[in-house]
Structure 1
Amino acid sequence: MRTSNNLIGLVNFITFLLSIPILGGGIWLSNRANSTDCMRFLQWPLIVIGISIMVVSLAGFAGACYGNKFLMWLYLFVMFFVIAALIGFIIFAYAVTDKGSGRFVMNRRYLDYYLGDYSGWLKDRVTDDGYWGQIRSCVRDSGVCRKMGRRLHGVPETPLMFNFRRLSPVESGCCKPPTECGYTYVNETMWIPGGDMIGPNPDCMLWNNDQRLLCYQCSSCKAGVLGILKQSWRKVSVINIAVLIILVIFYVIAYAAYRNVKRMDNDEPAGEARMTKSHPSHFEI
């Protein structure tokens, strides 16, 4: 019985440690929201799941240390639903980021982003007028476009150098006009109309060199936000899948150990009764 309790305690302690990367993923997304994608609704399910695993693991660990079968049972009961919630979150994250990616541009290292390449719940969420107003303000206030400037040995970046930069989806979609619009590069966030400026893309008319406007109203900016959301969610989901597999394995181990504790508890009274019957404590005279 002591061996089973020790095993349950060890499993709960490791489960507690596994809650740290899940919680850390939620906090990382929260920090990303402050600087790039400005989406503040995905990190909370992760944070809640991480804290839940942490608290439940501590309860199970205490139950194993003090031999409290109720806390052990509570750990198994609640952890089942936490694992189910984590599975649901992973499926949801992959489902809403299934479509859409940047397009390759000839003679460019960066990608261009188009809203038409995305679809589904996440696109509807981002493009909602009321919600997009908050995202646009957040992206602008984060200074992500202002921070794009680079100098090489004190010399400003040339158009050729800019063309071969790797830009984040937000930098590409919100801080410069779409490449097909034919604007001429002045610096990272200032472009002048070229000979082939007017194209079929409505964003060509929305670009503005005013640093408060740039392309924050462009569909390409919305696509850029969707693009960086996809990158962030997929990175976190990979970690969550690895943690989920380990959690399931440890859950099965803890369940088997708990069943062993119950079986031994049920066998112990019967064993004591047999010992009492075989070795009476007094003799009849």
Structure 2
Amino acid sequence: MRTSNHLIGLLNFLTFLLSIPILGGGIWLSSRASTADCLRFLQWPIIVIGASIMVVSLAGFAGSCYRNNFLMYLYLWAMFLIIAALVGFIIFAYVVTDKGSGRPVMNKVYREYNLNDYSGWLEQRVSSNSYWPKIRACIRDSKVCAKMRRTIGGVPETADLFYLRKLSPIQSGCCKPPTECGFEYVNETGWNPGVGLVGSNLDCNRWSNDQQQLCYDCDSCKAGVLASVKKSWRKVSVVNIIILIILVIVYVVACAAFRHNKRIDNDEPYGETRMEKEQPSRMHF
């Protein structure tokens, strides 16, 4: 009995430790939302799951230490619901970030992003009139475009050097016009219309050299935000999958230990069924 309680206590301590990287992933997404992704509602599910695992693990640890079967029973049910919620969140994260990726540009290292490559719930959420003004203001206030400026000897870097840079999705989509517009490079956030017709992309008319506007109203900016969110969520999802596998193993072992404790509490000899205990055979060999 004491060994089983120690095992359950150890498992709960392990799940408590596992809750830390889950909670850390949610906090990391929250910091990304403040500095880059600007989608503040996305990190809360994983923060809630991480905090729930932490609280439930402490309850299970207390139940094992004080041999409280009621707390252990609640712990097992709560952990089952948490595992189910984590599975659902991982599936949801992969589904809503399944489509869309950067398009390569000839003679340039950075990629460009097209809103038509994205669809579904997340794209509609980002593009909606209720959310995009807040996201746009967040991107502008984060100074992400101003931070991409570089000078060499007090002079802005040349176009050839700029084309060799690996820009983030938001930098590529929000801080410069699409390449197909045919704009001429002045500096990282300054572009002049080239000779001839401007491309048919509506973003070509949305671009402005006003540093408070740039391409913040462009579809390419919305696509850049979606690509940035996809990248962040995929990183967190990999960690969550690993933790989910460990949680399932811990849960199975905890269930076995809990059943073993109940057998001992019912005074059942190991390996002997309840029916054999109540109706023992008369002959034993």
Please, what TM-score do these two structures have when normalized by structure 1? Answer: 0.92
Sequence identity percentage = 70
2:151 is matched with 151
What is the DSSP-based 3-state SS (H/G/I as helix, E as strand, rest coil) of the residue aligned with 1:257? helix
Q: How does 1:234-253 map to 2 (within 5 A)?
A: 234-253=234-253
Q: 2-side partners of 1:18 and 1:112: how far apart? A: 37
Query: Residues 197, 176 of structure 1: CA spacing in aligned structure 2 closer, same or farther, 3 A cutoff?
Result: farther
What is the DSSP-based 3-state SS (H/G/I as helix, E as strand, rest coil) of the residue aligned with 2:130? helix
**Per-residue displacement from partner, 1:221-265 (whole Å, max 9, x unpaired)?**
000000101001111101100000000000000110000000011
Q: CA RMSD in A?
A: 1.2
Q: How does 1:161-180 map to 2 (within 5 A)?
A: 161-180=161-180
1:210 is matched with 210
Q: 2-side partners of 1:197 and 1:112: how far apart? A: 21
Q: Give the drift of 1:158.
A: 1.2
**Per-residue displacement from partner, 1:83-141 (whole Å, max 9, x unpaired)?**
00000000000000000011000000000100000000000000001210111011101
What is the DSSP-based 3-state SS (H/G/I as helix, E as strand, rest coil) of the residue aligned with 2:147? helix
2:80 is matched with 80
Give the partner amino acid of 2:258.
Y
1:231 is matched with 231
2:110 is matched with 110
2:282 is matched with none
What is the DSSP-based 3-state SS (H/G/I as helix, E as strand, rest coil) of the residue aligned with 1:129? coil
Residue ranges of structure 2 left out of the alignment (5+ in a row)? 270-285
2:280 is matched with none
Give the partner amino acid of 1:126.
V
1:38 is matched with 38
Task: Give every structure 1 segment of 4 or more consecutive aligned residues whose post-TM-superposition deviation is greater than 6 Å.
Answer: none
Q: When you count helix as a share of all residues, which structure comes out higher? A: 1
What is the DSSP-based 3-state SS (H/G/I as helix, E as strand, rest coil) of the residue aligned with 2:267? helix
What is the DSSP-based 3-state SS (H/G/I as helix, E as strand, rest coil) of the residue aligned with 1:210? coil
Q: Give the drift of 1:73.
A: 1.2
1:59 is matched with 59
Give the partner amino acid of 1:179.
T
Give the partner amino acid of 1:125.
R
Q: Give the drift of 1:156.
A: 2.8
For the Cα contact (< 8 Å) 1:177–1:203, is it kept in 2? yes
1:19 is matched with 19
Residue ranges of structure 1 left out of the alignment (5+ in a row)? 270-285
Aligned positions, number: 269
Give the partner amino acid of 1:55.
V
Q: Give the drift of 1:196.
A: 4.4
Give the partner amino acid of 1:130.
S
Q: Give the drift of 1:152.
A: 4.3
